Amino acid sequence: MTRALAALAGALALLSLLVGRAGFGVVDTAILWELRAPRTVLALAVGAGLGLSGAVLQGLLRNRLADPGLLGVTGGASLGAVLVYYYGLAATLPVTLPLGGLAGAGLAAAAILALASRTGTGAALLLAGLAVASLTGAAVAVALSFAPNPFALAEITVWLLGSLEDRGWREVLLALPAVLAGAALLLGLGRRLDALSLGEAGAASLGVDVPGTVRRAALGAALAVGATAAVAGGVGFVGLIAPNLVRGPVGERPGALLLPAMFAGAAIVAAADIAVRLVPLQQEMRLGVVTALIGAPLLLRLVVTRSERP
């Protein structure tokens, strides 16, 4: 299953290199290298980071509805980017946009880690994440309410919907190291997440350092999700749906889901990013809108099939 999903993500990456406004195929090596290649790498990184983080958080919190958005780092990244727009820095110095997103995600992650480390439980992490997400959401709403001009308001709103349009190697260099570092932390958690299926006390009785596992999961997910949100904006549903999609064929053992969910996430975002370029509209559809359009029916289907199972 893991190999099949990796092959699917690879095939979609190849297709992503061939699709764009300039036409199908390799129409120009500059377009291929400067536009489509970084966009494809980012789509894979964003999807892989979200899918893997979703699988880890669902295992950690023992809840199939856990989503990386609950951590609050996406909200932190959004707030950072929105402030860059708000103060007009994005137009004069574009690199400040992903940097603002990274700074916001970093601050949110630091706050969550500090709050959750006091008790070191999954419930504490969830509560801290919800508090930070609510706070950053409120701050973004304030920024929207007091947007300096209608153009800034439109830019902020569009950015919040998520996109990989016009992202280049600069964004790849900013996001990829953090996603890789986060993935390295998260992929090593498999057996600990298996043990946590017995609850936190059950896992501790098997010799698992539960507070350490919570901290590592929070840090890994914050790195992966924060970096992706900083460069791509809000891409919802992927972290929620990717683990649930692979749970059927792979089984429910949390540790067994990590790699398949990572590749499924990469495939979903790569497919969505191809779709936004294929839909003939004046302006590209937003990536976050398409992932929600794909994700919501899939989630509904899972709800129906799950309720039908005895």
Binding site for other proteins (CB under 8 A): 62, 191, 194-199, 201-202, 204-209, 251-254, 310
Q: For residue 17, what are its two tokens?
A: 């290199």
Q: Which is nearer to other proteins, 167 or 247 (CB)?
A: 247
Q: For residue 185, what are its two tokens?
A: 């932390």
Burial of 308 (0-12, 13-18, 19+ CB in 10 A): exposed
Q: Which is nearer to other proteins, 60 or 77 (CB)?
A: 60
Please report how close the Cβ of residue 200 comes to other proteins at its closest, in angstroms: 10
DSSP E strands, the chain:
none
Please report how close the Cβ of residue 141 comes to other proteins at its closest, in angstroms: 35
Q: Which is nearer to other proteins, 118 or 253 (CB)?
A: 253
Q: For residue 74, what are its two tokens?
A: 């996406």
Q: For residue 209, what are its two tokens?
A: 């350092």
Q: Which is nearer to other proteins, 256 or 262 (CB)?
A: 256
Give the DSSP H/E element, type plus range, for residue 210. Answer: helix 210-232
Burial of 24 (0-12, 13-18, 19+ CB in 10 A): exposed
Residues of 166-202 as b/e, b for ≥16 C-beta within 10 angstroms?
ebeeebbebbbebbbebbebbeebbebbbbbeeebee
Q: Which is nearer to other proteins, 134 or 205 (CB)?
A: 205
What are the C-alpha distances in Å from 269 to residues 9, 48, 51?
A: 9, 8, 10
Please report how close the Cβ of residue 144 comes to other proteins at its closest, in angstroms: 39
Please report how close the Cβ of residue 195 comes to other proteins at its closest, in angstroms: 6
Please report how close the Cβ of residue 122 comes to other proteins at its closest, in angstroms: 11
Rg (CA), the chain: 19
Q: Which is nearer to other proteins, 196 or 224 (CB)?
A: 196
Q: How many residues does the chain have?
A: 310
Please report how close the Cβ of residue 250 comes to other proteins at its closest, in angstroms: 12
Please report how close the Cβ of residue 106 comes to other proteins at its closest, in angstroms: 31
Q: Which is nearer to other proteins, 157 or 197 (CB)?
A: 197
Q: For residue 285, what are its two tokens?
A: 């559809």
CA distance 39 to 31: 11
Q: Are 81 and 159 in contact (CB under 8 A)?
A: yes
